A and B are shown apart, each in its own frame.
Chain A
């Protein structure tokens, strides 16, 4: 491989014109509460795994809704399905179900 002395960076911008947001729509059909997150971060605050690993339900859901699906794959594997996030969510988002659905749709 020739070393050209420079590297190419992928665009860091979220582009809602080119991003594929099919997964978010599918998720909305299967779990309508995925629409009503208000990004308070209660889920991430209580998350057992988040104390040790970079994982946040709020971030996962946001990225899926923006069509940035690839970036959440590794985050999804950190969840242990304890369900504490579902208990603390003030809007009644079925967080545990969403995480399980996403895992099925994206990984399994």
Chain B
């Protein structure tokens, strides 16, 4: 068995876990490292998923035990240093262990954009401005949706594209999943607070995925969610701690203002700290969005120009969970093909 190729998967989110499972199934030896004390990544923080509202734990309940059974898992572990030697990677880990890997799979994912940076939206300044991730946490912990003062909100606003499509914060790209997340959460707020008006402030609604358009329609038709096209220019607090928002209603061609009791910011994706570190350490090229750039955006989406280094999931750009899972399987296959195609790497 000592001839088995060893692959180090860096990152234990859905992408890393899914790849690790499939690489193990193909007969490779896999070590998966995760910096947190638990496998699962961001999915652990989501309550339910678009477009079908299934509980998010169903994903981790399936992936975590499967990967734990098949691969060597190291939690609370990060990569300290990587040296390439004779076609192998000598990897030093944060716990002092050193291991040798024949290939590396970077699955270090994304972080959510820090909403403090959009100071004009008042996150961290006004108590009634929260992020979508914080709202999701309330859903998950069955905490009723209330204002900071503990009142039932009469109006909730969702701001799309916070930290996305915004050169002011250096992120020109679309984070892809925020639109549908806003619609998903808006419906849930309406469901849990029937008397509450819900508004989504958007520039474009990018309902790119299967069934997403149905969700948009259901939000309008069944739940009466109101969509106002226009990007928020600013949010300010009034004397009652309500949030006054200002924007142009671009469909009306006129400025619009209104007070909401709770403002939810749909923060976008940024490359995670781990992704940035791995890219620097391994000298991986980045796209202009600062996510890892694969060798070929169409044909080799998991291959990097550095031999033996592969990439999967949101470390190569904003992705939904289902996209990350498909991509992770593709990455496993790409790695197998790379081993098979290079004779000195034959399994």
A interface list, Cβ under 8 A from B: 12-17, 28, 32, 35-36, 38-39, 58-59, 62-63, 65-66, 68, 91
Q: A17-B259, A65-B226 are in contact. Are A32 and B221 (CB under 8 A)?
A: yes
A13–B252 contact, CB under 8 A? no
Contact B249 A66 (CB under 8 A): yes
Q: How many angstroms between the C-alpha atoms of A35 and B222 in the bound complex?
A: 9
Measuring CB to CB, which residues of chain B are less than 8 angstroms from any residue of chain A? 216-217, 220-221, 224, 226, 229, 249, 251-252, 254-259
What are 27 A-to-B residue pairs whose CB atoms are below 8 Å? A12-B254, A12-B255, A13-B254, A13-B256, A13-B257, A14-B252, A14-B254, A14-B256, A14-B257, A15-B256, A15-B257, A16-B256, A16-B257, A28-B224, A32-B221, A35-B224, A36-B217, A36-B220, A38-B216, A39-B229, A59-B252, A62-B251, A63-B252, A65-B226, A66-B249, A66-B252, A66-B256
Shortest Cβ gap from A57 to chain B (Å): 13
Residues of A within 8 A of B255 (CB): 12-14
Nearest CB of chain A from residue B162's CB, rounded to whole Å: 21
- In whole Å, how far is A52's beta carbon from the nearest beta carbon of chain B? 21
Bound form: Cα–Cα A36–B257 in Å: 22
Residues of A near B256 (CB, < 8 A) are: 13-16, 66
Nearest CB of B to A74, in Å: 16
Contact (Cβ within 8 A) B220 A14:
no
Contacts of A32 in B (CB 8 A): 221
Q: Given the complex, which residues of A lie within 8 Å of B252, measured CB to CB?
A: 14, 59, 62-63, 66, 68
Query: Contact check: which of A15, A62, A68 meets B258 at CB < 8 Å?
Result: A15
User: Which residue from chain B places its CB closest to the CB of A39 in the assembled complex?
Assistant: B251
CB neighbours (8 Å) of A35 from chain B are: 220-221, 224
Alpha-carbon separation in the docked complex, A14 to B221 (Å): 24
Q: Which residue of A lies closest to B205 (CB)?
A: A38
